[in-house]
Structure 1
Amino acid sequence: MKHDRTIRACSIWRALDVVGDVPVLLLMEQALLGIHSFDEFVARTGLARSVVNGRLKKLVEEDCLAKVPRKAGRGFHYVLTQKGRDQFPNGLMMLRWQHKWEADSRDFQVHLHHATCGQATEPVPTCGHCRAEIDPRDVDWREGPGLAQVVPHYERRRFNGDVGTRRPGGRPLVDTMIELFGDRWATLVVRAMFTHINRFDEIQRDTLMATNILTGRLERLVRQGIIRAVPYSDRGDRFEYRLTAKGRDLYPVLLALLHWGDRWFSDERGPPVLLTHRPCGHDLNMVVACSDCGDELRLENSRFTVEPTET
C-alpha cells in the first residue's frame, strides 16, 4: 500500500539525485566539451572554487568523473567515466531544445558537426526500433517491475544568480535548460504533466513538495511558456495545467534522463517505468540521430563550434 508520505521513485527521480543541480550541470557541460582541469572548470563556469571543489567531489563519488594523476607534472585532472559519457544524449537534447525555442534570444550560435558524415547536424530524438522521430503523444507508459515508493528528501540546493551570466567568457551552451533541470522541483512538475497529472492537488500529492514551492514553480513555468493554466470550473478560479508545444518538446530531455537512470540505477527487478512506442509497438529506446545521415550521434563522433550571432 502506498504510504501518504512517499512518491514514485522512477529513474528520472534517481537521475535528479545526481544531476538535478545547477553547478553539477554546469560542470558536466564543460566535461562533455573536453575540459579536465580544476582551474579550467572554475574559469569556464564562473562558480566559486569551493563550489567547484564540492561538486567535482560529488561527481567523482557518483562515478561520473574520475580523478586521475596528470601524466606530466603534479596534481590531478578529471576525466569522464562511462557513466558520465552516457550523459551525452541528455546534453544533446538540451541543446536541441535551446536551438528550437531560444535561438533568437542568444548572442551566439552553437553548431554541432557529425564527423561520420562530415555534415553540420541537429540532434533528432528517434525510436531505436523504427527510427521515427519521437512525439510524446505517441508514447504509452506503464509501471515497471522496479517501481518503488520512497520518502523524498529534498536537499535545499540554492544557486544565486542568472546561469546565463555566470561564465566570464560567455554563457553556457544550454543555460535555460540548466536552470530548469537544475531545479528538481520544477523538473518533477514537468514529469507529472507527462503522466497526465495536471491539477494542483494531484501534482502536490505526486511530488510532496510544499504548496508555496509548488505555486512558485507553476507560476514560473507559466511565465516561461512551458505550461498554461486552463480553468476547469464554472467559477474560473480552479485550474489544471497543460504543457504547451514548448513544454512537450522537453520530453526528449526527460527521456534521456529516464534512460540514463534505468541504465545506472535500476536494480535486479528491472526498470521502474516501461515505455511503448505506439507507431511500431516496440519498447521505446531513444537514439539521438544525425539529422543529415540518420546515424547515432556519440560523444566520440561529434564536435561543437560556437560563433557570435551577426548583428
Structure 2
Amino acid sequence: MKHDRTIRACSIWRALDVVGDVPVLLLMEQAFLGVHSFDEFVRRTGLARSVVNGRLKKLVEEDCLVKVPKRGGRGFHYMLTQKGRDQFPNGLMMLRWQHKWEADSRDFQVRLHHATCGQATEPVPVCACCRAEIDPRDVDWREGPGLAQIVPHYERRRFNGEVGARRPGGRPLVDTMIELFGDRWATLVVRAMFTRINRFDDIQRDTLMATNILTGRLERLVRQGILKTIPYSSHADRVEYRLTAKGRDLYPVLLALLQWGDKWFSDERGPPVLLTHRQCGHDLRMVAACSHCGDELALSNSRFTIDEAG
C-alpha cells in the first residue's frame, strides 16, 4: 500500500535529480556546443563563477563530465562522458519544441545540420522499431519491475532571472525549455498530465508539492499555453487541467528524460515504467531522426549554426 508521504520514483524523477536545474541545463547545452573550459562556460552562460564551479562539480560527481588536465598541467578541461553524451537526444527534443512553438519570438534562428546526409534538418521523435513519428496518444504505459515509492526530498535550487534575457557570449538555444525543465516542480506537473492525473488534489498527492507551489506552477503553465482548464462541475473553481497541443508536444522531451533515466539509474529489477507503441505493438524506444534522411542524429554527426535576425 502506498504511504501517504511517498511518490512514484520513475526514471523522469531520477533524471531530474541531475538535470532539473537551470544552470546545469545551460552548462550541458554549452558542452554539446563544444565548450570545455571553465572561463568559457562562465562567459557563454552569464552565470556567476561560483554557480558554474558548483554545477560543474555536480556534473563531474554525476559522471556527466570528466575533468581532464590541460596540456602543460595548468587547469582542466571538462569533457562529456558517455552518460553526458546520452543526454543529447533530450537537447534535440528541446530544440525541436522551441523551433515549432516559439521560433517567431526570437531574434535569431538555430539551424541544425546533419553531417551524414549534409542537409539542414529538424529532429523528429520516431519509434526505433517502426520509424513512425511518436504521438503520446499512441503510447500505452504500465508499471515496470523497478517501480518504487520514495519519500521525496526537494532540494532548494535558486536561480534569479529569465534565461532568455541573458545575452553573454552565446544566448541559450532553448531558453524556454531550459526554464521549464530546469524547474523540477513544473516538469512533474507535466508528467502527471501524461499519466492522466488532471485535478489539483490528485496532482498534489502524486507530487507531494506544497499547495502554494503547485498553484503557482499550474498558473504559469496555463499562462504559457501548455495547460488549459476545463470545468468538471457547476462550481466555477472546480477545474481539471489538460494539455494543449503545445503541451502535448512536450512528450518527446519527457520521453528522452525517461530513457536517459532508465539507462543510467534503473537497478537490477529493471525500469520503473514500461511503454508500448500501439502502432507496431513493440516496446517503445524513441530515436531522434533526421527529418531529411531519417537516420539517427547523434552528437558526433550534428552541428549547429546561429543566424541572427536582420
Normalised to the residue count of structure 2, the TM-score between the two structures is 0.99
Residue 212 of structure 2 corresponds to 212
For the residues of structure 2 that align with 1:202 and 1:148, how far apart are their CA atoms?
Answer: 18
Q: Quote how far apart the aligned CAs of 1:165 are.
A: 2.1
Residue 66 of structure 2 corresponds to 66
Residue 175 of structure 1 corresponds to 175
For the residues of structure 1 that align with 2:286 and 2:26, how far apart are their CA atoms?
Answer: 24
For the residues of structure 1 that align with 2:9 and 2:168, how far apart are their CA atoms?
Answer: 38
Residue 134 of structure 1 corresponds to 134
Residue 258 of structure 1 corresponds to 258
CA RMSD of aligned residues (A): 0.7
Give 4+ residue runs of structure 1 displaced > 4 Å after superposition. none
For the residues of structure 1 that align with 2:30 and 2:292, how far apart are their CA atoms?
Answer: 26
- Unpaired stretches in structure 2, ≥5 consecutive residues: none
Residue 149 of structure 2 corresponds to 149
User: Residue type of the partner of 1:231?
Assistant: P
Q: Quote how far apart the aligned CAs of 1:270 are.
A: 0.2
- Unpaired stretches in structure 1, ≥5 consecutive residues: none
Q: Quote how far apart the aligned CAs of 1:239 are.
A: 0.4
Tell me if the contact between 2:22 and 2:178 (Cα under 8 Å) persists in the aligned partners: yes
For the residues of structure 2 that align with 1:95 and 1:263, how far apart are their CA atoms?
Answer: 22
Residue 107 of structure 2 corresponds to 107
User: Residue type of the partner of 2:45?
Assistant: T
User: Residue type of the partner of 1:77?
Assistant: H
Tell me if the contact between 1:15 and 1:258 (Cα under 8 Å) persists in the aligned partners: yes
User: Residue type of the partner of 2:257?
Assistant: L
Tell me if the contact between 2:36 and 2:77 (Cα under 8 Å) persists in the aligned partners: yes
For the residues of structure 2 that align with 1:284 and 1:192, how far apart are their CA atoms?
Answer: 19
Tell me if the contact between 1:43 and 1:167 (Cα under 8 Å) persists in the aligned partners: no
For the residues of structure 1 that align with 2:161 and 2:236, how far apart are their CA atoms?
Answer: 36
Residue 189 of structure 1 corresponds to 189
For the residues of structure 2 that align with 1:39 and 1:296, how far apart are their CA atoms?
Answer: 33
Tell me if the contact between 2:45 and 2:170 (Cα under 8 Å) persists in the aligned partners: no
Please give the secondary structure, in 1, of the residue aligned with 2:137: helix
1:266-286 Cα offsets, whole Å, 9 max, x none, are 000000000000010000000
1:1-311 aligned at under 5 Å gives the runs 1-72=1-72, 74-310=74-310
1:133-164 Cα offsets, whole Å, 9 max, x none, are 00000000000000000000001101000111
Q: Quote how far apart the aligned CAs of 1:167 are.
A: 3.7
For the residues of structure 2 that align with 1:131 and 1:214, how far apart are their CA atoms?
Answer: 37
For the residues of structure 2 that align with 1:41 and 1:169, how far apart are their CA atoms?
Answer: 9
Q: Quote how far apart the aligned CAs of 1:170 are.
A: 4.4
For the residues of structure 2 that align with 1:283 and 1:302, how far apart are their CA atoms?
Answer: 27
Give the count of matched residue pairs: 310
Normalised to the residue count of structure 1, the TM-score between the two structures is 0.99
For the residues of structure 1 that align with 2:181 and 2:36, how far apart are their CA atoms?
Answer: 23
Percent same amino acid at aligned positions? 88
